Amino acid sequence: MDKVEHFNDMLVRLEELLYHELSGCAAWKVELVGIDFIQSKNIKGNTEDEVITHCIKEIIASGLVKNMIYSIGGKGILLNLKMESCIHLPKEVRLKKDGIKPYICPIANMIMDQLIEKLKYETTYLAKLDFDEKTRECKVKCAIYETPDKIGLVSDWSKEEL
Amino acid sequence: MGDILEVIKTRKSIRRYKPDPIPDKILDKILEAARWSPTGENYQPWRFIVIKNPETKNKIGNLAKLGSGSRMTAWYCLGEMQKRFEEIQDPVKRAEVLRFMYSGEVSEFAKQAPVIIAVIGTLMEGSVDVPYDLSACIENMLLEAHSLGLGACWVHGPVASTRDAAKFKKILKIPTGMGEYKAIAYIALGWPAEARKHPRPKKPLEEIVYWEEFGRRERI
């Protein structure tokens, strides 16, 4: 039995169900999905870069993704993530085929969680989740707000692709 | 029995309030309207926290601002917010409306409301309809408030995300366990300081009603 396939199948069902019940705001309810793994890893760091780098190291070492890079932009509130061969990619593919735009990224949730837990960031938001089945690549845009005054720092994120 | 269609049709979401207090007698009528809402198997899972303390209202207003602002800032940066306001021709006005939205100021009005009522539901008594029951009782309260001349607004924003909902519960000392209470929204209440000049257009019945089966528009 392929356990990863089994767990992805279950995630698909739950993600579909939640979307069906809540429509678009389902995406706002799922920020804790995936965080237990990273919370078990004793992530350390005093800066954004240190925390994110440590998270990525643990995520790759565990085999959740094959490779992962990031950038910070958008006046400091845009966290761009690019992942290769995430184990959850089949979930995104199947959801899209079922007509639902995937909205849960457990990997991005992990990193945003640690920014909140370790650096006391005010809030975060998973803004965009794109993936390419052929290249097995995911691109995620997260809004990360260190303090309340970062809210409203707008810029054009389309110019800041990773 | 009076027809309440006019009450329903003239209700609008009001976000600006006079500072005048709301007498307890009127508040009690609004809460009584909630008590009589439809509820699956008569479970009545709803509980209400009536908040007048300015400090508490400020905390909730800030939380609402943060929730809306965090999402709308991202939507603006992705170019999604701009499409929603394309119909505003004046570029200066459009920019100001957009700033009002993505700054989160649009959701800050709990601070100015004389009263806000947090609507929560117990998840521990067996009801299988908690979100639906709570939504029905919110509508009852909005209609009763409107019929009494008050302005009100149903606000979901500050409890929309899981972390924000936990913060909301902590502000009001609501148990935070996921199996204890669901915080679904709050209602901001006050004597209206605005009249909605441009009620949002509603879709015509022909567009939203089918007869006998999905998609069939001919009236039987």
pLDDT in tens, B139-166: 999 999 999 999 999 999 899 999 999 9
Instruction: Provide mean pLDDT across the span B24-31.
Output: 98
For residue B206, pLDDT beyond 70: yes
Residue with tokens 């690019």: A82
Say if B102 is an interface residue toward chain A (CB within 8 Å): yes
* pLDDT at position B198: 64
ipTM for this model: 0.96
For residue A93, pLDDT beyond 70: yes
pLDDT in tens, A16-59: 999 999 999 999 999 999 999 999 999 999 999 999 999 999 99
Instruction: Provide mean pLDDT across the span B49-74.
Output: 97
Cβ contacts from A onto B, under 8 A: 74
* pLDDT at position B197: 67
Percent of chain A scoring above 70 in pLDDT: 100
Residues 161-190 of chain B with CB under 8 A from chain A are: 161-164
Nearest chain A alpha carbon to B71: A125
pTM: 0.95
pLDDT in tens, B190-202: 999 988 766 688 9
What DSSP string describes chain B? ----HHHHHH--B---B-SPPPPHHHHHHHHHHHHTS--GGG---EEEEEE--HHHHHHHHHHHHHHHHHHHHHHHHTTHHHHHTTT---HHHHHHHHHHHHTSGGG-GGGT-SEEEEEEEESSS--S-HHHHHHHHHHHHHHHHHHTT-EEEEE-GGGSSHHHHHHHHHHTT----TTTEEEEEEEEEE-BS---SSPPP---HHHH--SSSTT--S--
Residues of B in contact with A154 (CB under 8 A): 73, 76-77, 102
For residue A73, pLDDT beyond 80: yes
pLDDT in tens, A132-158: 999 999 999 999 999 999 999 999 999
Q: What is the DSSP letter of A145?
A: E
Q: Does B73 sit within 8 Å of A152, measured CB to CB?
A: yes
